[in-house]
Structure 1
Amino acid sequence: MAEAGITVQVCHVLPDSTFLRSLNVPAGTTIGQAVALSGLLQAIPGIDLAVNMVGIHGKKKPLDTVLHEHDRVEVYRPLQADPKEARRRRAGGKSAKG
């Protein structure tokens, strides 16, 4: 009897495009394995899993996390700016300049 598979998704969002692939993988597959199987690293060569954080349904997870049925693996883009600093700049408005 063959080991049952699970269905997961791998996604990565860029400002002008989205990579989203559904996969049927063996039970026990990790985040790192699913990303490799999805073809994401070939489709978007600039991704480095040593730098880009990954998660499941919006929660950061390590690459060796074992996936479950219907998990959505998300490969996050690096932050362009520190969110706290950006918030301070927005809150300060024009008064911070003068």
Structure 2
Amino acid sequence: MPRVTVCHSPGPRQVREQVLDLADGATVADALRCCGLSPAEGEIVGIWGRRADDAQVLRDGDRVELVRPLQVDPKVARRERFRRQGSRAAGLFSGRRPGAKPGY
């Protein structure tokens, strides 16, 4: 009897987790159905961060994840944030005291 965790994020900074005890041979679709979830348009289903089919059989300890699509590319968001803050306020040495030695 495999014990799996089903995780999904209905909105920003919200995470819902449910631990389920399923019958042997249960699939990803069975786990989602037990939680009352179904993938919406653009959502991705995965096991431990890797894309999975609905028909994939689950093993004990699997973590089924229902992931929303990204609204902004992380690289673009970082560039925009850097552009707004400027080079002095961002990066590894942004909190350095004036006159401090260079380096780590």
TM-score scaled by structure 1? 0.69
Q: Matches of 2:31 and 2:74 in 1, distance apart?
A: 29
Q: Of residues 29, 42, 45 in structure 2, which corresponds to 1:51?
A: 42
C-alpha displacement at 1:84, in angstroms? 4.1
Give unpaired runs (5+ residues) of structure 2: 87-104
Aligned Cα RMSD in Å? 2.1
Q: Quote the offset at 1:53 in angstroms.
A: 0.2
1:16-58 per-residue CA deviation (whole Å, 9 max, x = no partner) reads 42211111111111111111111235xxxxx51x531011111
Change (3 A) 1:88 1:16: closer
- Equivalent residue number for residue 102 of structure 2: none
Q: Point out which structure has higher relative CO (alpha carbons under 8 A, 6+ apart).
A: 1
2:19 equivalent in structure 1: 22
**Within the alignment, does 1:85 sit opposite 2:60 as a pair?**
no
Partner of 1:74: 65
Match of residue 10 from structure 1: 6
> Conserved in 2, the CA contact under 8 Å of 1:19 and 1:40?
no
SS at match of 2:22: strand
> How do 1:54-65 and structure 2 match up within 5 A?
54-65=45-56
Shift of 1:85: 3.3
Identity percentage over the alignment? 38
Partner amino acid for 1:34?
Answer: A
Aligned residues: 84
Contact 2:4 2:62 in 1 (8 A): yes
Bigger Cα Rg: 2
Inter-partner Cα distance in structure 1 for 2:28 and 2:19? 13
More helix by share: 1
Partner of 1:44: none
Partner Cα distance (1:65, 1:51) in 2: 19
